[in-house]
Structure formats: structure tokens, C-alpha cells
Amino acid sequence: MPAIVLVGTQWGDEGKGKATDLLGGSVDYVVKFNGGNNAGHTVVIEDQTYALHLLPSGILTPGVIPVIGNGVVVDLGVLIEELDALEARGVDTSHLRISANAHVIPPYNRVLDKVTERFLGQRRLGTTGRGIGPTYADKMSRVGIRVQDLYDQSILRQKIEASLQVKNQVLLKIYNRRAVEVDEVLAELLLHAERIRPMVTDTGLCLNQALDAGKTVLFEAGQATLLDVDHGTYPFVTSSNATSGGACTGSGVAPTRIDRVIGILKAYSTRVGEGLFPTELHDDSGEFLRKTGAEYGTTTGRPRRCGWLDTVVGRYARRVNGLTDVVLTKLDVLTGLETVPICVAYDVQGTKHEEMPVNQSDVHHAKPIYEELPGWREDISACRSFEELPANAQAYVLRVEELIGTRISAIGVGPGRTETIQRFGLLGD
Ligand code: GDP
Ligand code: IMO
Ligand code: MG
């Protein structure tokens, strides 16, 4: 029975939440394995719109067991807010499981994230300000606080004290901010500890046992390939592994157990925050994509930077993640264009690159080489089979498939759960 990883192939916001929700009915577990409440997934089910940040999108499907894996960083206050908001709307959240090894985001890391960005000025990364970077840095520096520490108060106090010895120096002496009290941090972290205690468990064991019992497990990435700390456009990345390998380290399920990797590819590109973006548009076409695609951040409300589809990025995502399937989302947004440009390669100072240049300065100088495909004017949002799409839209999909080198198994033609064309089975059928 399959273990399936679902990843973003670009800079995030490709429609991972909708794709997870779509698969929800066919899987038993949905695992968030990286990131935290920097993610923002919008899921539309009939007339209801849900915005999820920390919880896996699978929580919306009755019967699915949602799991927060060890690779996630958890803001406990946000977790409780999200759970309460969903419960108030009639969503049963009682099956949530949280890894005892997941790290928590202490309040001082939210402060540090924001003040560091301000301090960087022009050189800022454009983070979401949620404390993600400092919390992963603490994890790697071995001064982080884990969910299991909440249940041993003397250990918790010791860890906070040790952390604050350094953090308070930084806050006071570098950023001219007030020092943080140990008791203040303890109080915030313990506020909801008892409420979540029944959910805290060895999620790695639980997922392996589920796979042994023939259950289907879906691993849902936050962020995306080019925001991955190792494989993305460093340093303009998030601080976790958002690529398929992260599903293993972030959950305790081994690579030998993964059967399929689904890449979510938006029919054009967007990026929130700073960093390179070869196909970015600064003209009316960019505005068209932003308006038509409603490209404003789910988490921070920031307008997303927009550009044409970049298949150099797509091929890179195929390689890094080992994609078996692609879900092409938001094809409907391209309706009405005279021609639809696809970036097929980069021109870097006279040299053609079909693969992502390893040297980032080259990517900075990359000029996209476009292929122009004829557009279509027909409304495609009611299409439910590939054959119903206008001929030019079909040709566009087939060309993208050829350029990425991975079959396009589903196509999004609108935000709603049912606004999807299924071409091939995503679960390997
Ligand atoms: P995620 O972070 O990858 O889950 O993506 P977001 O939820 O941040 O952004 C994707 C947005 O596009 C959401 O508002 C979705 O409701 C919407 N969406 C997803 N698929 C489609 C599609 O095929 N067509 C259209 N028009 N909207 C879509
Ligand atoms: P989903 O899961 C788009 C971006 C931020 C910033 C950089 C680092 O919805 O696709 P961080 O707060 O993580 O330290 O910020 O990463 N970023 C995202 N961009 N979608 C996301 O998530 C993102 N999560 C982080 O804008 O540029
Ligand atoms: Mg998003």
C-alpha cells in the first residue's frame, strides 16, 4: 500500500492544499513533515473556504488521521487557534497526532525573526515573521525545545534558561530590545500543554505501523523545491527541507517505503518575499496573472510576484524530488491570453542552459528563452476530461509534460474540489 509524497515544484502556493484535499478521500493519514505556520493553504469545499497554516490539509477529510511530524516547528498558540476555528466550523480535529520530537516555536524566536529582518534592511529575506528560521537554527544548534519537553517542567525550565542566556544578549545588545523572562516563556509554552497531551505520540512508529497494516499515507510538504534550504535559491529560502527527502527525515519513515512523489506545478510562476525569479514579469502580463489568479498570500496577504511558467525550474524539481506525477494547477488562469509563453531554457551571457545552473550568479543573469504557444479563449472551468479542453489548452499541457519529462496526471481548472481533470490515477493506479 502506498506512501505518497506531495511537494511544491516552484516557490510555494502551487495549490498543494487543494491537491491534498482532493486525495483525502483515498488516503488514511496525511502528514505535514516540514515548516510550520509560514505555510498557507487555501482549500475550497463547495461554498466553504478554509485557510490552513499549521495543520495538514487532510484534516478537512472525515476519517483521515492528520499528523504533525517531527520535522515541523509548532507554534502552540497558532495550533490551538486553528483547532478551535475548525471545531467551530464543525470539523472534527480529535484524531490529530503530534510528534513528541517536533520542535516548538518559543515567543523569543518570533521576535528575533522580525527584528533580524528589520536589521537586514535591503538585504532582508522577506520571511513570514513567524519565527521559523530562528527555531530551525536552534534545532541545528541543539538548543531547541521539543514538544516532549513540555511534559517535564524542570527540563523545560533548564532549556529555556540556557537558550535565554544567549537570546537575551542578542535581543538587548544587538537589537536594543527588552530581555525576555524565563517565567513568561514557560507560561506561554505550558498554556496549552495539557490540552494537546493526548495527541502527542511517537508519530514515526505510528506511521510505520500504519504502512505495515496496509494503510495509505500521504506526506504533504509545506513550501516548495526552490524554497528548500539545501536545494532552493539560498539564502532566499525557508529553513527546512521541503523536497521529497524531507518527508523521510521529517516523519521517521524510510526512503525505501516511499512509492510515489507527486509534484504540484502551477501553470505559471509566483514567489512571495525576496530572491531571484528569472521569469518574473513587471508589466501588464504580471498584473493579469496576479488579478486573474488572485495571487495574494494566504499567510501574510502580500501580493505575490508573478511570471510565466519556467520549465528549467520544473525539470530541476523533477530531478530533486524524483517526481512520478505532476498535478498542473490553475490552467484556467491562462484562459484569454493570445499566446502562452513557456520558459524552456535560460540564456546566461550567451550560453544556453536547459538545466538549472549550479552557480547562482548565473541564475541571476539568466534571460528566459521562451516558446510561445497559441492561447485559448473558451472557459475551461467546467471541463472534467482532457478531451473536453480546447485543442490549444491540450497542446499546452502536452508540451509542458514533454518539457518536464513527467506525466501530468491531473489538471486544475478552478479552486473548487471538483474543478479538476483527472488523467491518470495519482495513487499509482
Ligand atoms: P498551497 O500553499 O500550495 O496550498 O497553495 P495556496 O493555497 O497558497 O495557493 C493556491 C491558491 O490557488 C488557493 O487560493 C487555491 O484555492 C487556488 N487554486 C488551487 N488550484 C486551483 C486551480 O486549478 N484554479 C484556480 N483558479 N485556483 C486554484
Ligand atoms: P506554502 O506552503 C510561499 C517564503 C517567505 C520568504 C521565505 C522565508 O503556502 O507554499 P520563512 O518565514 O519560511 O522563514 O520565510 O519563504 N515562504 C513561502 N512562500 N509559500 C509558502 O508556503 C511559504 N513559506 C515561506 O515568503 O520568502
Ligand atoms: Mg500557500
The C-alpha cell 502536452 sits at 398
In tens, the pLDDT along 48-85 reads: 999 999 999 999 999 999 999 999 999 999 999 999 99
Distance (Å) from CA 407 to ligand 1 centroid:
20
Residue-wise pLDDT tens digits, 334-360: 999 999 999 999 999 999 999 999 999
What pLDDT does 299 receive?
77
Average confidence (pLDDT) over 83-94: 97
- Which of 16, 23, 32, 42 maximizes ligand 1 atoms within 8 Å of its Cβ, making it the mutation to test the pocket? 42
pLDDT > 70? residue 1: no
Per cent of the chain over pLDDT 70 is 100
Residues 231, 180: Cα–Cα separation, whole Å: 35
**Which residue owns the Cα nearest ligand 2 atom 5?**
127
Ligand 1 atom showing the smallest separation from residue 298 Cα: 8
| Angle (deg, nearest 10), helices 76-88 and 182-190 | 30
Tell me the CA–centroid distance for residue 325 and ligand 2, in Å: 23
Asked if residue 294 has pLDDT above 80, the reply is: yes
Q: Are strands 3-8 and 260-266 parallel, antiparallel or unpaired?
A: parallel
- Model confidence pLDDT, tens digit, residues 250-288: 999 999 999 999 999 999 999 998 999 999 999 999 999
CA of 338 from ligand 2 middle (Å) equals 32
User: How many whole angstroms from 127 Cα to the centroid of ligand 2?
Assistant: 7
- What domains are defined for the chain? 3-93+202-422 (3.90.170.10), 103-196 (1.10.300.10)
Alpha-carbon distance of 345 to 370, in angstroms, equals 7
pLDDT of residue 47: 92
Ligand 1 atom nearest to CA at 264: 3
Query: Which sequence positions are flagged as catalytic?
Result: 13, 41
- Mean pLDDT, to the nearest integer, of 316-338? 98
Q: Is 334 close to ligand 2, i.e. is its CB under 6 Å away?
A: no
Instruction: Please tell me the pTM assigned to this model.
Output: 0.97
Q: For residue 412, which amino acid is it? A: G
